[in-house]
Structure 1
Amino acid sequence: MITRKLNSLYFLFFISFVHIVSAQAQNKKIEKADDFYNKFAFLEAGKLYQDIVDKGNTSVKVFIKLGDCYYFNASYAEASMAYSKVLNSGITVDPEYYFRFAQSLNNLQKYKESYEIMRKYFNVIGKIKESDNWDDKKLLEEIKRESGRYILKNVEINSSFSDFGTGFYGKDMVIYASAKDTGIVIKRKHSWNEKSFLKLYTANITVDGGLTNSETLKGDVNTRYHQSSPAVTKDGKYMFFTRNNYYDGKLSGDKNGTNFLKIYVAENVNGEWKKVKELPYPINSDGFSSGHPALSPDETQLFFASDRNNKFGNSDLYVVSLKKGGIIGNDVTKLPEEINTPGRETFPFMDDNGILYFASDGHPGLGGLDVFAAIKDEKGKYHVINVGDGVNSTFDDFAYVIKKDGNGFFSSNRYGNDDIFGFKETKPANFDFDIHASIFGTITENGTPVKDLDVDILNSDNEIVASIKTDDDGKYFVPLAPFLAFKAFYHKVGLSNKTIDIAQLKPLEKKEISIELVKELEVIVDGEKRKIKEGDNLAEILNLKPIYFDFNGYNIRTSSKKELDKVVSIMKDRPNVIIKVNSYTDSRGRDEFNMALSKNRAKSTVEYIVNAGIDRNRITGEGFGETHLLNHCSNGVVCSESEHEVNRRSEFIISIK
């Protein structure tokens, strides 16, 4: 009896011991998985969590982390199964897991199921109306409305590894990231997804919009770890890019050994990228990641993605002020909730029209990361649209960049690895309001409105891009593309013309340009109207100062160029005015020398005016030496310097077409 009781106690002790050992072993495995998880090594962590679940652990905490591991590695079928266990457990969890579950279903093209879960999410956070945007019918209708706008192009630089993230580098090149690691036998792996580390390369843009001639970026930017997402200033002098926290030849991390992404800037020194510097706080920190920099068209702002104040994987878009020389302000601002969601917003890019493009899986899309376009209305609120199919697919589509001619590039993993795709945008994005800037004003002559005056808008290539006439009240209104420079040319027969440079305007910005014109054969000098006619000397009418040249030479002095610019201005505004330049010298020196000198001076004057934009057929010149003296100071006559100066002159004789 005692023996049997002892055996029973021994058996119970053994069973308890086995359970304790098993629990301790499982706890150690969970601790190991958590350690991988906290270091963003989601692939390794996921294997351990899955093994723990397979051995019977049904802890909600384990399923949450298992779901996250699959979610962050785009294994959405497995993620949805894990999140389903979490949400059906009856335990209250962070609303974000409804959102991630809905995202996972959406990525599996289970749009109706995704919509139902998304309604629960928005109901929990008290914004049920916003769930309407995820209605599967409405979602597909909106995407269809923006679809069919792209012609895709092949890009020959893609490798069997990841290639993505093009940034424009001048007019005909890009810089992009690739994991092809040319010439390296042993591949370094990033713990997040076991993909090879990335370097930056250059490539040439082909005539048909493809990419060719891939070469490793020259300079000190590439290290043994990740480099990606370049943004180069228009002058080609500075490049912002993403890199692991890599300093002084070492990969740095926080106290737990976690390495974060940071934004760096490099300078172009004789064609090589040198002087690499980490951007300061609050852009970067050892406690969060920042990356994917993008410049505003006027290069006064830097947009970027960051996971600060977020759980890992969920990045938002931020903006900070930027000064010349790559100097960053400390005014980091998170973009509003029209842009940022509980999902991932990343890879921002702003085009010449001020449209902000970005990738997101938190806005309604086809699945994975989709590309979205956004712009502010007059009240400063962003309007966001999905750019449609072609660019977007049921896979991850991101890193969208576009030039003003509609050609651009984006990246996608639709064929397995990340690849770069070229495209041509055939129609602009269809926002629900007009994003154009505009100029407007009233044209008058002698205080009276000018009707039917032509207003032509010219682009930087002097091509007419818009034309309009003033109305009965002399008023006009012209919409303009934002962030581009133009010229406005005002003209009507019988009136002087006027050309005005229009600096870049912001989206929706309105600029008034009202002008008082005069008749073509009138000029205003010191506030007084003066008529001009055939045979008049424009120098006298404009009260021009003498046109000075180098002593005994024919190079125009800087002080006289301002006077000649007045002549140029009159001729530009009056296309029917023709000028003949007559050049004279005083009597000092040999007669033949003075004749040659005056002819060369007349020629220099003509060339200056032609180079300023006047048609050569409207300007001629002749030198007369000392043959037309205005006083008695001929050869051998003693005269003062001021008396000789009277004879050294240039005349601008007017003819009318």
Structure 2
Amino acid sequence: MQNKRLQKANEAYNQFAFVEAGKLYKRIANKGNASANVYARLGDSYYYNSNYLEALKWYAKLMETRGDIAPEYYFRYAQTLKTAEKYSEAATILKKYYLKTGKRDMSDSWLPENFMSKIKEQSGRYTLNNVTINSSSSEFGAAFWGEDKLLYATSKNSSSVLTQKNSWDNRSYFNIYSATITPDGGLVKPKILKGDVNSKFHHSTPVITKDGKTMYFTGSNYMAKKLGRSKKLEINYLKIYKAHYIDNQWKNIEELPYPVNSDGFSSGHPALSPDDKELYFVSDRNNEMGNSDIYVGSITEADGISDIRLLGSEINTLGRETYPFIDASGTLYFSSNGHPGLGGLDVFAAAKDEEGIYKVVNLGDGVNSAYDDFAYGINRENQKGYFSSNREGNDDLYGFTEKSPVNFSFDIKPTISGTMKDSITGAPIAGVTIEVYDSEFNKITSYLTDNEGKYSFSIEPFQKHTLVYKKVGLIEETVSIPMLQQLEKRVISPDLYDEMEINVANVRVRLNEGDDLTKKLKLEPIYFDYEGFQIRESSKEELDKIVKLLLARPNISLRVNSHTDSRGRDEFNMRLSKQRAAATVEYIVKAGVAKERVTGEGFGETMLINHCINGVKCSEKDHELNRRSEFIIIFNK
């Protein structure tokens, strides 16, 4: 009878049916003659369902046995001790783990005197907000969708067909819901997400691209709505899928190919970098059952994921790393039970230092507790966000407001610097103003170059900026800055030219009042058709060069002088030349030059430039030379 019960318990355990396995192993253990293997698997059955206090009880009994205990059980036992706030004892057990495995001993980092002060430094930064959409079932996850929507997963049943339960924890399968975010950070109007992203099996932890058109999410291994199984064991692995937003629904579900997904391991909990160029995700490949690490891959133009790499040991530990999230600044957040913390899963933040090494900090109390805290996400525009925790029993959503940013002890912002010099002499230019604008061209701030022409300042990472360099007497220079990563350094030293100098065919030319830009810029003459005043298409390119010069030199104005040939009556030609001047001025003003900077005057046939006067027979080409416009420089006072 005992052997049959053990066989049945082992079968349930091997199928990841941990609720059933736990019940069967517990009956055996309560008989008083359980083996070390029964205690180990009984502890695991609770450990994998985050019931750490119950797992602690059975791991403690395992440690009392005289058998050869596998090293990983020392690590798990230490983790459960930590959740019971027995930090010193956890460090002692962890030291045994390192001794057995021969790995570098890091148990001292788990001593409360070595990590509690660091956690205290980050504590007190959050105000928690009430979330009313939690139910008696589980709710978790935080994926922002547009300006006022949050996606999350819940195991509550939405219809009679969604009643199947999974054997791992005997709960209903998760589906993805949306909720409306209120101005104070509350969540209202929960409803199941439309489209093909939900079925009777698990769907959770979505993330949506910035354009709102593509979703990555975690789902059970299913094809044609039938639950997939691995070939070795009857195990349902998790995979990452992609959906497209079409006609207000999520459709065209695609499974990401290997090496993201496989029928031999689980992958899930996708997250996107701020520029949507990288996909972070969690996988238990090459790992003990129950543990997982964070990976990242590049999203290619061919719509695939390449260059998949495991994040370094400063992120991934011997424990479980999961639920990555990257905020708008590029800071990585994740949950782990392998880093020193307050409980089971704690939420951590990570940013790379100048050497490219991640520095990891615990987010402190409020978000973290003695229980599992995970699935953290924050909106950097209002510092409000959400995380999940089982501190009240079920997995529930919690809202928060971050009162001050996490402190990495170094500035994570990218830096822009440069040296402004005279384009001819190379002498430094002091007092150049550098105006900084955001992606909507709203001015953020401004800086000045010092006596050596140097400047340096920080900007927000992963945001587009525009810089405008200006000083009286010099031509303004505008530089567009793409998204820069954290701690990226960019040197920008644009050439600034004297406003009264221009570069023509690589030759510096000085502008003087009264000069004709047609000659200074070596333009093709601006000609008109006979008896016409419409701007020729062939002349627009030349006029655009004049417009560009005026836009870059606000202290220069222009007088347009228009002329006709000698043919026709004098009064007609005078009127026609004024029309040509007006048409030319109108073109320049429509191109963006202030109208008070451009005037026009018509001279008819009074200022011919060749011998083609009345009564003299000339070729059409000779007459065309007189049908011209001149662009006379006027300096603004």
Q: Under TM normalisation by the shorter chain, which class is it?
A: 0.7 to 0.9
Cα separation, 1, equivalents of 2:191 and 2:615: 73
Match status 1:608 vs 2:585: no
Cα separation, 1, equivalents of 2:209 and 2:534: 41
Superposition deviation, residue 388 in structure 1: 1.6
Superposition deviation, residue 49 in structure 1: 0.7
Match of 1:260 among 223, 229, 237: 237
Superposition deviation, residue 566 in structure 1: 4.6
Q: Which residue of 1 aligns with 2:460?
A: 481
Match status 1:656 vs 2:636: yes
Match of 1:532 among 511, 515, 520: 511
Match of 1:640 among 585, 597, 620: 620
Match of 1:366 among 342, 346, 364: 342
Cα separation, 1, equivalents of 2:536 and 2:51: 73
Match status 1:388 vs 2:377: no
1:71/1:521 CA distance change after superposition, 3 Å: same
**Is contact 2:150-2:180 (8 Å) kept?**
yes
Match status 1:225 vs 2:201: yes
Superposition deviation, residue 280 in structure 1: 0.7
Counterpart residue type for residue 303 of structure 2:
G
Superposition deviation, residue 398 in structure 1: 1.3
**Is contact 2:550-2:556 (8 Å) kept?**
yes
**Is contact 2:238-2:266 (8 Å) kept?**
yes
Superposition deviation, residue 69 in structure 1: 0.6
1:475/1:52 CA distance change after superposition, 3 Å: same
Q: Which residue of 2 aligns with 1:247?
A: 223
Q: Which moved more, 1:33-42 or 1:339-348?
A: 33-42
Q: Which residue of 2 aligns with 1:288?
A: 265
Q: Which residue of 2 aligns with 1:310?
A: 287
1:346/1:153 CA distance change after superposition, 3 Å: same
Q: Which moved more, 1:457-466 or 1:73-82?
A: 457-466
Superposition deviation, residue 608 in structure 1: 2.9
Cα separation, 1, equivalents of 2:605 and 2:397: 73
Superposition deviation, residue 253 in structure 1: 0.8
* Deviation per residue, 1:377-396 (Å, 9 max, x gap): 23332111111222222222
**Is contact 1:264-1:279 (8 Å) kept?**
yes
Cα separation, 1, equivalents of 2:205 and 2:328: 19
Q: Which residue of 2 aligns with 1:461?
A: 440
Q: Which residue of 1 aligns with 2:489?
A: 510
* Deviation per residue, 1:429-448 (Å, 9 max, x gap): 21133322212221111310
**Is contact 2:18-2:45 (8 Å) kept?**
yes
Counterpart residue type for residue 426 of structure 2:
G
Cα separation, 2, equivalents of 1:26 and 1:250: 36
Match status 1:440 vs 2:413: no
**Is contact 1:361-1:368 (8 Å) kept?**
yes
Match of 2:300 among 301, 315, 323: 323
Cα separation, 1, equivalents of 2:351 and 2:451: 35
**Is contact 1:164-1:178 (8 Å) kept?**
yes
Cα separation, 2, equivalents of 1:77 and 1:197: 25
Cα separation, 1, equivalents of 2:211 and 2:564: 46
Match of 1:431 among 393, 408, 423: 408
> Which runs of structure 2 are paired with 1:569-588 in the superposition (5 Å)?
569-578=548-557
> Which runs of structure 2 are paired with 1:521-600 in the superposition (5 Å)?
521-538=500-517, 540-544=519-523, 566-567=545-546, 569-578=548-557, 599=582
**Is contact 1:596-1:625 (8 Å) kept?**
no
> Which runs of structure 2 are paired with 1:188-203 in the superposition (5 Å)?
188-203=164-179
* Deviation per residue, 1:333-371 (Å, 9 max, x gap): 111111111211111112232211111111111112111
**Is contact 2:335-2:347 (8 Å) kept?**
yes
1:638/1:371 CA distance change after superposition, 3 Å: farther
Cα separation, 2, equivalents of 1:217 and 1:554: 58
1:516/1:198 CA distance change after superposition, 3 Å: same
Q: Which residue of 2 aligns with 1:347?
A: 323
**Is contact 1:402-1:409 (8 Å) kept?**
yes
Superposition deviation, residue 50 in structure 1: 0.5
Q: Which residue of 2 aligns with 1:451?
A: 430
SS at match of 2:108: helix
Q: Which residue of 2 aligns with 1:66?
A: 42
Q: Which residue of 2 aligns with 1:137?
A: 113
**Is contact 2:162-2:200 (8 Å) kept?**
no
* Deviation per residue, 1:181-219 (Å, 9 max, x gap): 334476221221122222222333333333333333222
1:555/1:337 CA distance change after superposition, 3 Å: farther
1:199/1:492 CA distance change after superposition, 3 Å: same
Cα separation, 1, equivalents of 2:368 and 2:552: 51
**Is contact 2:161-2:200 (8 Å) kept?**
no
Cα separation, 2, equivalents of 1:257 and 1:34: 14
Q: Which moved more, 1:187-196 or 1:280-289?
A: 187-196
Cα separation, 2, equivalents of 1:350 and 1:245: 26
Q: Which residue of 2 aligns with 1:14?
A: none
SS at match of 2:463: coil
Superposition deviation, residue 107 in structure 1: 1.2
Superposition deviation, residue 494 in structure 1: 2.8
Q: Which residue of 2 aligns with 1:21?
A: none
Counterpart residue type for residue 228 of structure 2:
S
**Is contact 2:547-2:591 (8 Å) kept?**
no
> Which runs of structure 2 are paired with 1:28-427 in the superposition (5 Å)?
28-126=4-102, 129-184=105-160, 187-255=163-231, 256-324=233-301, 326-329=303-306, 331-405=307-381, 406-427=383-404
* Deviation per residue, 1:534-577 (Å, 9 max, x gap): 455545533455789999997996x8776666555544544434
* Deviation per residue, 1:229-265 (Å, 9 max, x gap): 1121112221111100111121111133211100011
Match status 1:471 vs 2:450: yes
Superposition deviation, residue 67 in structure 1: 0.5
Q: Which moved more, 1:166-175 or 1:124-133?
A: 124-133
Cα separation, 2, equivalents of 1:372 and 1:458: 32
1:530/1:374 CA distance change after superposition, 3 Å: same
Structure 2 residues not aligned, in runs of 5+: none
Counterpart residue type for residue 265 of structure 1:
K
Counterpart residue type for residue 462 of structure 2:
F
* Deviation per residue, 1:577-599 (Å, 9 max, x gap): 44567788999999889977875
Counterpart residue type for residue 347 of structure 1:
Y
**Is contact 1:296-1:302 (8 Å) kept?**
yes
Cα separation, 2, equivalents of 1:593 and 1:203: 67
1:72/1:522 CA distance change after superposition, 3 Å: same
Match status 1:490 vs 2:490: no
Q: Which residue of 2 aligns with 1:13?
A: none
1:496/1:223 CA distance change after superposition, 3 Å: same
* Deviation per residue, 1:41-96 (Å, 9 max, x gap): 11111111111111233211111110101111122122111111222323332222
Cα separation, 2, equivalents of 1:295 and 1:200: 18
Superposition deviation, residue 285 in structure 1: 0.9
Cα separation, 1, equivalents of 2:568 and 2:28: 107
Q: Which moved more, 1:348-357 or 1:283-292?
A: 348-357
**Is contact 1:533-1:656 (8 Å) kept?**
no
Cα separation, 2, equivalents of 1:480 and 1:361: 34
